[in-house]
C-alpha cells in the first residue's frame, strides 16, 4: 500500500463518526419521509445512472483492466433501473400500515403494523459488481425511508471514486455518503452503531463483520458467498445444459457470488457435457486477449489464487479442459480462459474453496439421489441450479434442498428478478433485499394497538375473580379444548 492510500485511509477514518452523527441528526429531524420524498430520492438516483452511464462502463473497465460495457449494462445498470422502477410502482402500497387481527384479550381495540424507517443503514460492498452491489441495497434502504453510508471496495478504486462523485451530485452527505479506503476503514466502518448493516462479501469476513455489529446489537443483512451447485438431470438435453451454463458461468468471467461453482453431471454424459460446454464458450468468445466481451480477472492476487487452484488440481491428478486457442499468450494480461476440471477429489482446492472465477469442476454422479446427497452434505449454498424439464421432479428438489435462491433450467437470473427476495441461508448469508422482502428488511415492523374510549379491561382487572373475569375464563375454556392429534 502506498502513501496515498495511507493518507486517504486516515482522512476517511476521521470522517466516519461525524458522518454517522450528521446522518442520524438529519434522520431524527425527518424520521418518516413521505412517499414523495422517497420517490424523489429514487428518481434522483435513476437520473444519475442515466447521466453517468458511459462513465460507469469506463470506471469498471478500468478496475477490471477489461470488462465489457454489455456486461455492465446487463448486470449493473439495467437491474438498478428496474429495481427503482419496481419500488416506484409499489412503494405506496408497501408503506401503508396494515390492519391485523385483534384478539379477544385486547378487545375492544385495533391491531396494526406500521413499517417505520430504521435510520441510517451502513452498506459494505465487494469489488465484483461495484455499482450494483452498492446501489441495489441502497435502493431498498431509500425506498424504506432510510439514510445510508456506503463503504466501497478498495479493489475497485475507479468505481469507488465515481460512485462518490455520482452520489454527491444528487444527495447531501447527510442523506447518502460514500466512504472509500482499505481494510482498516472497513473495520472501523463496521464498528459504527448503524441502525442496520448490509455486508456483501466473503463468508470469513462476514463472520468478522457480524461480530463487530454484535457489539452494538446492529442487525445485519449478510450477502455472502459459497459453492453454488448446478445439477443436470439425466433426461435433460445435455447440449442445452452446456449452453445455458456456459452463458451464466462466463458472465464476469465467473466472478459472481451466484456463479455456478461446480456441475453435478450424469456419469455417462460428462464427456459430452464438457466438450459441448467448451464449444459454447468458444463460440461466444472466439478469442480472449483482445476481445472486449470477455472480462479480465480483477487483480493479480485473484489471478494467482485461481492459478493456484488449477495447479493444485493438476498436481492431484485432475484433467483440465481449457477453452480457447493455446496460441494466444495471455501471460501478461489478466485474462484467464474458462477451464473445466474433471476427475476431481475432495482434497483439491477447487472442491474446498469458493471458486469465484473461470474454473468449473464437473463431478459425475450415478443417481440423482447421490447428487442431492452430495449437495446436502455441504454448506447451504447461495444458489442452486437444477436442469430438468420435468416440473414434478423440480418441485421435489425445491422442497428437499436448502439454498438462498434457485433457478430451474437457468443460472443467475434470480438476482435481477425484482419481485423476489435475494439472500443466502446459513454460511451463504442472512436477510434479504429486493422486492417486498427488501422493503420490509429495511423497515421496523412496529406492532401497534389502538384503544378507544371504552375500556373493558377495567372491568376484568383486579380484584380477580370478578364477574367479567369469570365470564372471560368460561368463554376461553369453551374456545380452547384439547384438539385431536391425527
Binding mask 377-396 for ligand NAD (x = CB under 6 A): -----x--------------
Coil, strand or helix: which one is 111?
strand
**Catalytic site residue 257?**
yes
CA distance 30 to 175: 11
Contact 379, 407 (CB under 8 A): no
Minimum CB distance to ligand NAD, residue 115 (Å): 24
User: Where in 199-258 is the site for ligand NAD (CB under 6 A)?
Assistant: 200-202, 205, 208-209, 223-225, 257
Burial of 5 (0-12, 13-18, 19+ CB in 10 A): middle
Q: Are strands 405-408 and 383-387 parallel, antiparallel or unpaired?
A: parallel
User: Where in 313-352 is the site for ligand NAD (CB under 6 A)?
Assistant: none
First to last CA, the chain: 67
In eight-state DSSP terms, residue 295 is P
Contact 342, 362 (CB under 8 A): yes
Q: Which residues pair with 132 in a beta bridge?
A: none
Instruction: Note whether 140 binds ligand NAD by CB under 6 A.
Output: no
Instruction: Note whether 357 binds ligand NAD by CB under 6 A.
Output: no
CA distance 458 to 108: 12
CA 267 to chain centre: 33
Sole binder of ligand NAD in the list 9, 61, 71, 154 (CB under 6 A): 154
Catalytic residue among 175, 223, 250, 265: 223
Q: Which is nearer to ligand NAD, 27 or 356 (CB)?
A: 356
Tell me the window of 46-54, 181-189, 388-396, 440-448 that interacts with ligand NAD (CB under 6 A).
181-189
Tell me the window of 17-25, 124-132, 284-292, 357-365 that interacts with ligand NAD (CB under 6 A).
124-132
- In a 13 Å sphere around the CA of 148, the CA atoms on its Cβ side amount to 30
Catalytic residue among 250, 257, 265, 407: 257
The residue behind cell 436477510 is 431
Binding mask 411-450 for ligand NAD (x = CB under 6 A): -------------x----x---------------------
The residue behind cell 458511459 is 54
Output the nine-digit C-alpha cell for 144.
424504506
Sole binder of ligand NAD in the list 16, 59, 84, 133 (CB under 6 A): 133
The residue behind cell 452520489 is 167
Instruction: Note whether 131 binds ligand NAD by CB under 6 A.
Output: no
**Catalytic site residue 436?**
no
Minimum CB distance to ligand NAD, residue 414 (Å): 11
Instruction: Note whether 179 binds ligand NAD by CB under 6 A.
Output: no
Q: Which residues make up the interface to ligand NAD (CB under 6 A)?
A: 124-128, 133, 151, 153-154, 183, 186-187, 190, 200-202, 205, 208-209, 223-225, 257, 354, 356, 382, 424, 429
Show which residues are catalytic: 223, 257
Amino acid at each position: 500500500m502506498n502513501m496515498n492510500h495511507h493518507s486517504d485511509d486516515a482522512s476517511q477514518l476521521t470522517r466516519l463518526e461525524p458522518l454517522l452523527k450528521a446522518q442520524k441528526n438529519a434522520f431524527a429531524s425527518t424520521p418518516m419521509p413521505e412517499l414523495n420524498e422517497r420517490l424523489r430520492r429514487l428518481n434522483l438516483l435513476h437520473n444519475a445512472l442515466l447521466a453517468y452511464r458511459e462513465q460507469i462502463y469506463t470506471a469498471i473497465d478500468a478496475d477490471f483492466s477489461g470488462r465489457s460495457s454489455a456486461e455492465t449494462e446487463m448486470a449493473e445498470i439495467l437491474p438498478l433501473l428496474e429495481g427503482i422502477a419496481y419500488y416506484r410502482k409499489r412503494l405506496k402500497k408497501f408503506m401503508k400500515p396494515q390492519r391485523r387481527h385483534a384478539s379477544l384479550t385486547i378487545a375492544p381495540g385495533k391491531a396494526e403494523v406500521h413499517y417505520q424507517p430504521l435510520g441510517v443503514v451502513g452498506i459494505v460492498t465487494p469489488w465484483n459488481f461495484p455499482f450494483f452491489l452498492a446501489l441495489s441495497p441502497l435502493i431498498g434502504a431509500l425506498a424504506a425511508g432510510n439514510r445510508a453510508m456506503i463503504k466501497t471496495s478498495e479493489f475497485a478504486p475507479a468505481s469507488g471514486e465515481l460512485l462518490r462523485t455520482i452520489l454527491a451530485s444528487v444527495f447531501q452527505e447527510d442523506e447518502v455518503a460514500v466512504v472509500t479506503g482499505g481494510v482498516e476503514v472497513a473495520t472501523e466502518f463496521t464498528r459504527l452503531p448503524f441502525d442496520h448493516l448490509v455486508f456483501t462479501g466473503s463468508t470469513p469476513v462476514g463472520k468478522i463483520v457480524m461480530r463487530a455489529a454484535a457489539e452494538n446489537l446492529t442487525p445485519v443483512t449478510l450477502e455472502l458467498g459459497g459453492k453454488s451447485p448446478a445439477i443436470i438431470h439425466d433426461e435433460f438435453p445435455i447440449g442445452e445444459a452446456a449452453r445455458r451454463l456456459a452463458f451464466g458461468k462466463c458472465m464476469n468471467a465467473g466472478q459472481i457470488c451466484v456463479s455456478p461453482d461446480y456441475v453435478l453431471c450424469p456419469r455417462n454424459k460428462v464427456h459430452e457435457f464438457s466438450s459441448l460446454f467448451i464449444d459454447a464458450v468458444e463460440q461466444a468468445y472466439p478469442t480472449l486477449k483482445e476481445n472486449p466481451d470477455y472480462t479480465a480477472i480483477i487483480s493479480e492476487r485473484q489471478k494467482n489464487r485461481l492459478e493456484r487452484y488449477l495447479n493444485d488440481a493438476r498436481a492431484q491428478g485432475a484433467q483440465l479442459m481449457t477453452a480457447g486457442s493455446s496460441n494466444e499468450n495471455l501471460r501478461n494480461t489478466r485474462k484467464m480462459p474458462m477451464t473445466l476440471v474433471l476427475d476431481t477429489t475432495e482434497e483439491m482446492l477447487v472442491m474446498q474453496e469458493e471458486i469465484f472465477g473461470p474454473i468449473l469442476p464437473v463431478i459425475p454422479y450415478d443417481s440423482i439421489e447421490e447428487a442431492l446427497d452430495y449437495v446436502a452434505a455441504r454448506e447451504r449454498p447461495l444458489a442452486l441450479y437444477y436442469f430438468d424439464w420435468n416440473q414434478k421432479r423440480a418441485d421435489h428438489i425445491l422442497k428437499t434442498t436448502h439454498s438462498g435462491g434457485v433457478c430451474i433450467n437457468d443460472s443467475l437470473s434470480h438476482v435481477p428478478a425484482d419481485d423476489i427476495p435475494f439472500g443466502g441461508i446459513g454460511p451463504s448469508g442472512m436477510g434479504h433485499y429486493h422486492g417486498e422482502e427488501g422493503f420490509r428488511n429495511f423497515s421496523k415492523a412496529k406492532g401497534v394497538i389502538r384503544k378507544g374510549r371504552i375500556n373493558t379491561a377495567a372491568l376484568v382487572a383486579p380484584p380477580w375473580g370478578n364477574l367479567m373475569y369469570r365470564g372471560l375464563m368460561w368463554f376461553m375454556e369453551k374456545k380452547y379444548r384439547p384438539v385431536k392429534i391425527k
